[in-house]
């Protein structure tokens, strides 16, 4: 049980919120051009390669998880968010519908509490910051204790950027010594919470008494049917699985493969750098990844395949990039059918399309409901039937899931680092959390010619039938 918050901590939060509101007041009259200039400056300050890579590698060194060589690649997300933010209006009138007599006026959401996961201590602040600044919000970041210095450094860059352009630095603030009681108080005093992290964090956000956007757990599953380009599917699966050592909830955890192409795809995955466990290694791997209570072991999250093998008690050759296990059972007691948060991938064989859809349903009963899935197929019937069956908010077609579902330059998904999972995942939205979620909107309604259909049209065949 968390300790009680001290009066000094309550006052600390109150002081930060007061400074945030004062900063918002300073920029409340900024026009769109001035806001966009700040947004561009912030995007450059955080998203230039030198700065982002430096802080990203700092995050890996501080937390001990993630791929130091590849973490800097997340910089592309900053650029994508900047693109999306600049292409939208956020000041004054943002939409006019003459036919309906509706004018929409954008207004800030307020002071935002942003809870930062240890897997993205350098990425989440600029992503949240760009959208918040575009909306003229203020943000107080609460970092994960394991990577608090990294988040503080990125926020320092963000504050200095504002200061250099004559804007108030307190648009962005960071809790330097985070704790559960202090974070809970922050959520209670702010206007809105953005919670990106594990279930306890999201639950706390929804219990704060203030509106919150949370994200659900992932269990990314890809279906690969007989029409798939095997080489493409194997390549994309490797890219998705190995990005930042599989730290993201969108990293391919389960591949459901048509039995007619199973062997060929498995061989292609080996060619891409996959290490296929034998039965003994698989048993050791399960004991290493999950403790006696079924919880994921921290020391195996987002580390290299070699390190996982070392912990499990077998050797993974240096040229192997990810680990594969062949599995045939799905369920709460079948740990390999759950989210893995590392470079371990489970391969399942299906027999006929109905079996594929059935296995998808069973996997999402284990976990990840509402998050995402994907498919490698050129069969539109398969694509659409999976989309209609899977209880997920987003489905990627022939794309590496962890590089695509939060937005990419070659798809139309809104760029973000927060993925809502809807009612399925216990979230308020199932959309990619983006600019619209940082704004409040006033609808101005003007009278229009009456739009009232006839009773005959409204009731159709039931008009003037017997009544009760």
CATH domain 7-214+434-444 topology: Aldehyde Dehydrogenase; Chain A, domain 1 (3.40.605)
Strand partners of residue 325 = 346
| CB contact at 8 A, 382 and 375 | yes
On whether the CB atoms of residues 113 and 190 are closer than 8 A, the answer is: yes
Give the per-residue pLDDT at 209: 87
Return d(Cα 85, Cα 9) in angstroms, integer. 34
> CA-to-CA distance for 183 and 205, rounded, in angstroms?
9
Question: How far is C-alpha 319 from the geometric centre of its chain's CA atoms?
Answer: 30
The pLDDT, as a whole number, for residue 451 is 96
Give which of 239, 247, 235 is closest to 271, Cα–Cα: 235
pLDDT value for 197: 66
pLDDT value for 207: 79
For residue 212, list its beta bridge partners.
193
The angle formed by the CA atoms of residues 37, 25 and 84, to the nearest 5 degrees, is: 35
Query: Does residue 242 come out as left (phi exceeding 0), alpha (psi in the -120 to 50 range) or beta?
Result: alpha
| Catalytic-residue membership of 249 | yes
Name the residue among 258, 384, 279 with its Cα closest to residue 325: 279
How is residue 210 written in tokens? 């203030």
Non-local CB neighbours of 455 within 8 Å, separated by 6+ positions:
463
Tell me, what's the pLDDT at 215? 83
Which ranges in 190-278 belong to alpha helices (H)?
199-206, 230-242, 262-271
Give me the residues paired with residue 256 across strands. Answer: 223, 348
Which residue among the candidates 249, 277, 342, 373 is catalytic per the annotation?
A: 249
Q: Where are the domains of the chain?
A: 7-214+434-444, 221-411
Nearest-angstrom CA–CA distance, 279 and 403:
31
d(CA 286, CA 289): 5
Question: CB 69: neighbour CB atoms within 10 A?
Answer: 9
Tens of pLDDT along the chain (468 residues)?
568 899 999 999 999 999 999 999 999 999 999 999 999 999 999 999 999 999 999 999 999 999 999 999 999 999 999 999 999 999 999 999 999 999 999 999 999 999 999 999 999 999 999 999 999 999 999 999 999 999 999 999 999 999 999 999 999 999 999 999 999 999 999 999 998 766 677 777 777 889 999 887 899 999 999 999 999 999 999 999 999 999 988 999 999 999 999 999 999 999 999 999 999 999 999 999 999 999 999 999 999 999 999 999 999 999 999 999 999 999 999 999 999 999 999 999 999 999 999 999 999 999 999 999 999 999 999 999 999 999 999 999 999 999 999 999 999 999 999 999 999 988 999 999 999 999 999 999 999 999 999 999 999 999 999 999
pTM here is 0.95
One CATH from 3.40.309.10, 3.30.930.10, 3.90.1150.10, 3.10.450.40 for 221-411: 3.40.309.10
């Amino acid at each position: 049980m968390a300790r009680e918050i001290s009066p000094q901590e309550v006052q600390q939060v109150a002081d930060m919120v007061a400074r945030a509101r004062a900063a918002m007041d300073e920029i409340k009259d900024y026009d769109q051009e001035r806001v966009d200039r700040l947004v561009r400056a912030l995007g450059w300050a955080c998203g230039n390669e030198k700065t982002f890579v430096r802080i990203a590698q700092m995050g890996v060194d501080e937390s001990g998880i993630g791929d130091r060589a590849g973490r800097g690649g997340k910089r592309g997300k900053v650029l994508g968010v900047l693109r999306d933010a600049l292409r939208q209006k956020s000041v004054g009138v943002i939409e006019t519908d003459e036919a309906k007599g509706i004018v929409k006026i954008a207004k800030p959401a307020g002071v935002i509490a942003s809870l930062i996961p240890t897997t993205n201590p350098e990425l989440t602040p600029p992503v949240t910051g760009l959208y918040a600044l575009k909306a003229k919000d203020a943000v107080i970041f609460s970092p994960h204790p394991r990577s608090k210095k990294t988040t503080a450094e990125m926020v320092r860059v963000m504050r200095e950027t504002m200061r250099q352009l004559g804007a108030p630095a307190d648009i962005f603030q960071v809790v330097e010594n985070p704790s559960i009681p202090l974070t809970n108080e922050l959520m209670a005093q702010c206007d809105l919470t953005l919670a990106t992290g594990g279930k306890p964090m999201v639950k706390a956000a929804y219990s704060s008494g203030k509106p919150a956007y949370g994200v659900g757990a992932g269990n990314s599953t890809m279906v690969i049917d007989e029409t798939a380009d095997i080489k493409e599917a194997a390549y994309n699966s490797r890219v998705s699985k190995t990005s930042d050592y599989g730290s993201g909830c969108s990293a391919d955890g389960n591949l459901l493969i048509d039995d007619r192409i199973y062997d060929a795809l498995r061989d292609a995955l080996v060619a891409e750098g996959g290490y296929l466990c034998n039965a003994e290694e698989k048993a050791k791997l399960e004991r290493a990844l999950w403790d006696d209570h079924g919880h994921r072991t921290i020391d195996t999250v987002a580390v290299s395949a070699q390190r996982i093998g070392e912990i499990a008690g077998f050797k993974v050759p240096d040229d192997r990039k990810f680990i594969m296990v062949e599995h045939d059972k799905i369920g709460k007691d079948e740990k390999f059918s759950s989210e893995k948060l590392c470079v371990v991938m489970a391969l399942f064989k299906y027999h006929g399309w109905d079996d594929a859809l059935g296995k998808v349903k069973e996997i999402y009963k284990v976990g990840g409901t509402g998050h995402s899935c994907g498919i490698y197929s050129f069969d539109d019937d398969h694509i659409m039937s999976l989309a209609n069956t899977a209880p997920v908010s987003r489905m990627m077609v022939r794309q590496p899931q962890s590089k695509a579902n939060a937005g990419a330059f070659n798809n139309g998904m809104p760029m973000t680092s927060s993925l809502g999972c809807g009612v399925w995942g216990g979230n308020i939205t199932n959309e990619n959390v983006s600019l619209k979620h940082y704004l409040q909107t006033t609808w101005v309604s003007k009278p229009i010619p009456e739009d009232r259909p006839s009773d005959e049209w409204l009731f159709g065949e039931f008009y003037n039938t017997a009544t009760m």
